[in-house]
Structure 1
Amino acid sequence: MAGQITLSKNRSSWLLVVLISMLIGSCVEKIEFPLNKGLAKLVVSGQVSNLQENRFVFLSETTSKDRKPVFSGNYYVLNDLPNPVSEAELTLVGEDGSQSNFTEIEPGKYQLEASVEILNGVAYYLDIVVQGERYQSIPESLPEQVGEDELSYTFSRDIIQDQPETAFISIHTTTTLPSQKGGYYFRWDVDEVYYWDLTFFPNPFNQPPPDCYVFGFPDPQRISLLNGDLINSPGGKSTQLVAERILDDSFLSRHYFNVRLTSLNKSAFEYWRKVRELVNNSGSVFDTPPAPIYGNIQNVNRPDEVVLGNFEIARVSQKRIYTTRADVPFFEEEVCTYDPQRPYEDYPKTCLRCSEFPSSTNATPHWWFDQ
């Protein structure tokens, strides 16, 4: 079975930042739903998997009535975005005696190096020391089971995101399930990376603009889950729709979709199931849920403190699929093509500098030409 959560913004909402996947150099998806306002609460969001990649934990604090104004660049404003929590000490502790420290690389973003190996059969927990308080996650080991994905896509024109007659792509996966009856729990996470053609202005050296790769999430509010306890077909197939994405000029070049099949412990699966259940049972996405959803983090000395978010020990299998301009059956206008009659200032800023995208790089991902 698969589930989707589509949640709305409103002026009284707070962001519960939940880590869906670390994906390529690791981005974060944000799922939004209202919470009762009150004192600031710590939000912990992170995942450590079997993959040899940098792992990340994000710490933030929900908005409280005494929050200081934020400078917007022109004036000070008040909003409901969580505050990053800096200067914390984070350690991944293994019950085999191992300890690996995280390093803060941005405000509230803590990195564990890819060289740290996560061993089978060893339970790990996250230890956090911040502002004189100690928090710990429940010890968990890597799940044993993971399925095998086969990816495909389809193009359509229909109603999507309340927009009629809109062209979009759907990403599907057909998963070969473990050869056991029950005892496994899956979530699918999808990110995207595409090549962006900057405007090539004529120059004496015929020097092209630098490469530009843009990272993002095609369908950030979708959560797809499968409970293996409800499947009575060991080794069978399960088909999921894991993402839908409106077509735009990002499809004029190679456009990758990276799909991570994440095998969760039952406690992590229950966390996501409760999120879905709470939203579905609230009657409306604008209703305030009756209580926050508890994850697996608690204050060691004050266990009654409400701590939001969840920290996962997960086994991950990743597959990629891409489209090119020739695959897209719909017309997309080129916005960055050079025109000698077009004034420089008329080009969108994203045609001039890759850095105009919130998450981008000039470095080619190491796997870009593997397929």
Structure 2
Amino acid sequence: MKHIKVYILLIIITITSCVETFDFKTVTFDTNLVVRAVLTDELKQHTIELSRTIPIDSTKLDPEKNAIVSITDDLGTIYNFQETNNGIYTSNIDFAAQPNRLYTLHIQTVNGSTYNSTNEVLPKLSSIEKIDFNIEENQISQNQELAIKVTSNASEDEGKYYRYEYEETFKVKTPIWSLRKIVTLSNVPPYSFDLVYKDPNIDGIGFCYGTLNSKNIRLTETQTLAQDQVIGFPIRKIPINNYIIGIRYSILVKQYVINQNTYDFYTLLNTFSNPDNIFSQTQVGNIPSNISSTTNPIEDKVIGFFEVSSVSEKRTFISRSEITDLPFDNYVLLAFCEERPNPEIVDVFGNSPLLDLLLNGWIYHSPPQSPIPPPNRPYTLTVKPCGDCTHIGPITPPSFWVE
């Protein structure tokens, strides 16, 4: 088995708050297969991600390339997956997990090692009934937060296990907006520029739409309750002064019904602190998997889980006027936007300070404040994030957006 030497920095702080000398220690690191595989009852092309564990001080993933991946059911149906990006495998066809079928994941890596999952069955569907929101006070920071909570439909089934994900989309406005922009006609001597009106279809009207996906693992269960119903489970909490709820906000919540083994897996996974690369940095033996090696089951361990789950989703929109009239902090502080350079088109050395600033993140703001702008300095600029929000998201709302 391949071992990679990594160094862990151990900082020992004594009770007396004295800092001891750094002690570098060498440990071995096993490059085990990492699997992210979720099969749902959604009719779509499903994806499976394969990679290798990475050192704890590494930030770059190590994708597992050129593997052979498939899912089979107990009727003999084979769903083949093809690598569409490094380490990402997509099913060749749209399909959905069906009730009362047994599904098994199969993987063969480029070195000939093979892996199979246990047989997994689709849990019964439980739908989201509603998404509620209200203002709460954070007991630690003493600041107000928007709390978003989910309630599922009640059922007569025995308790279930649930996992949640969300996708949030929000509308932002540039703190500084100009109807015009500078166009570079010539970026070599003789330098030439023009001031033109923006095209709303290309440049927008000062609004952008950002989208973020959940990272934390959100779990709950009703097995210990008298009734199988999730009531007011908190999905998301947002500080009331956050710009993402400054104008209009939307959240799409996905509720996955999972089995107990999957729930136990995510519960253990949730004890680790970094959701961005937790799978790749988790060490073998910490978390059990339902995927195992068929060629070397003793030493060749797998990180990850083959999840088969039923999915319900619901979307809601929230306007700021519905929750508060308090001001919010924009995505960029106005103090950051106070600088207003008024560069020369051409300086005494034959260079163009204006072009340099345009190429380094500055955009048109307004004419100079002087009554008669000098011919060589006709433009006042502002740093791009202050007058252009496209680093947050596109200028056009997504297809689901409603005002």
TM-score (norm 2): 0.65
Check the 8 A contact 2:126/2:153 in 1, yes or no: no
Q: What's the offset of the Cα at 1:259?
A: 1.4
Check the 8 A contact 1:147/1:178 in 2, yes or no: no
Task: Give the distance between the partners of 1:12 and 1:108, measured in 2 at CA.
Answer: 30
Q: Which residue in 1 is equivalent to 2:35? A: 44
Q: What's the offset of the Cα at 1:58?
A: 1.7
Residue of 235, 240, 244 corresponding to 2:233: 240
SS at the partner of 2:120? Answer: coil
Is 1:301 matched with 2:295? yes
Is 1:346 matched with 2:383? yes
Q: What's the offset of the Cα at 1:168?
A: 2.7
Check the 8 A contact 1:62/1:81 in 2, yes or no: no
Q: Which residue in 2 is equivalent to 1:215? A: 211
Q: Which residue in 1 is equivalent to 2:95? A: 116
Whichever residue aligns with residue 347 of structure 1, its letter is K
Whichever residue aligns with residue 99 of structure 2, its letter is N
Q: What's the offset of the Cα at 1:50?
A: 1.0
Q: Which residue in 2 is equivalent to 1:87? A: 66
Task: Give the distance between the partners of 2:83 and 2:173, measured in 1 at CA.
Answer: 33
Is 1:105 matched with 2:84? yes
Whichever residue aligns with residue 81 of structure 2, its letter is F
Change (3 A) 1:290 1:100: closer
Q: What's the offset of the Cα at 1:37?
A: 5.3
Mind listing any 5+ residue stretches in structure 1 that lack a counterpart?
A: 1-10, 14-35, 66-77, 280-287
Residue of 188, 200, 203 corresponding to 2:164: 188
Aligned CA RMSD, in angstroms, stands at 3.5
CA deviation digits over 1:67-124, x for unaligned, max 9?
xxxxxxxxxxx62554222222222222222222333333222333672232222222
Residue of 272, 285, 299 corresponding to 2:266: 272
Which segments of structure 1 move beyond 6 Å, counting only runs of 4 or more?
none
CA deviation digits over 1:177-203, x for unaligned, max 9?
321233x32222223122344675423
SS at the partner of 1:326? Answer: helix
Counterparts of 1:313-324 in structure 2, within 5 Å, are: 313-324=308-319
Whichever residue aligns with residue 189 of structure 1, its letter is E
Q: Which residue in 2 is equivalent to 1:27? A: none
Task: Give the distance between the partners of 1:335 and 1:275, measured in 2 at CA.
Answer: 32
Change (3 A) 1:96 1:212: farther
Computing the radius of gyration over CA atoms, which structure comes out larger, 1 or 2?
A: 2
Mind listing any 5+ residue stretches in structure 2 that lack a counterpart?
A: 1-7, 11-26, 181-195, 274-281, 335-363, 369-378
Q: What's the offset of the Cα at 1:240?
A: 1.2
Task: Give the distance between the partners of 2:150 and 2:321, measured in 1 at CA.
Answer: 22
Whichever residue aligns with residue 52 of structure 1, its letter is L
Q: What's the offset of the Cα at 1:241?
A: 1.4
Change (3 A) 1:197 1:84: farther
Is 1:310 matched with 2:301? no
Change (3 A) 1:296 1:179: same
Aligned length in residues: 307
Is 1:174 matched with 2:155? no
Whichever residue aligns with residue 185 of structure 1, its letter is Y
Identical counterparts, % of pairs: 18
Change (3 A) 1:63 1:94: same
Check the 8 A contact 1:158/1:167 in 2, yes or no: yes
Check the 8 A contact 1:278/1:289 in 2, yes or no: no
Is 1:368 matched with 2:401? yes
Q: What's the offset of the Cα at 1:324?
A: 1.9
Check the 8 A contact 1:46/1:310 in 2, yes or no: yes
Whichever residue aligns with residue 327 of structure 2, its letter is F
Change (3 A) 1:320 1:56: same
Q: What's the offset of the Cα at 1:165?
A: 4.5
Instruction: Report the more deviating stretch, 297-306 or 244-253.
Output: 244-253
Q: What's the offset of the Cα at 1:293?
A: 0.1
Task: Give the distance between the partners of 2:9 and 2:302, measured in 1 at CA.
Answer: 20
Check the 8 A contact 1:251/1:328 in 2, yes or no: no
Task: Give the distance between the partners of 1:368 and 1:37, measured in 2 at CA.
Answer: 50
Task: Give the distance between the partners of 1:343 and 1:98, measured in 2 at CA.
Answer: 66
Check the 8 A contact 1:149/1:261 in 2, yes or no: no
Check the 8 A contact 2:133/2:148 in 1, yes or no: yes
Task: Give the distance between the partners of 2:45 and 2:113, measured in 1 at CA.
Answer: 26
Change (3 A) 1:92 1:84: same
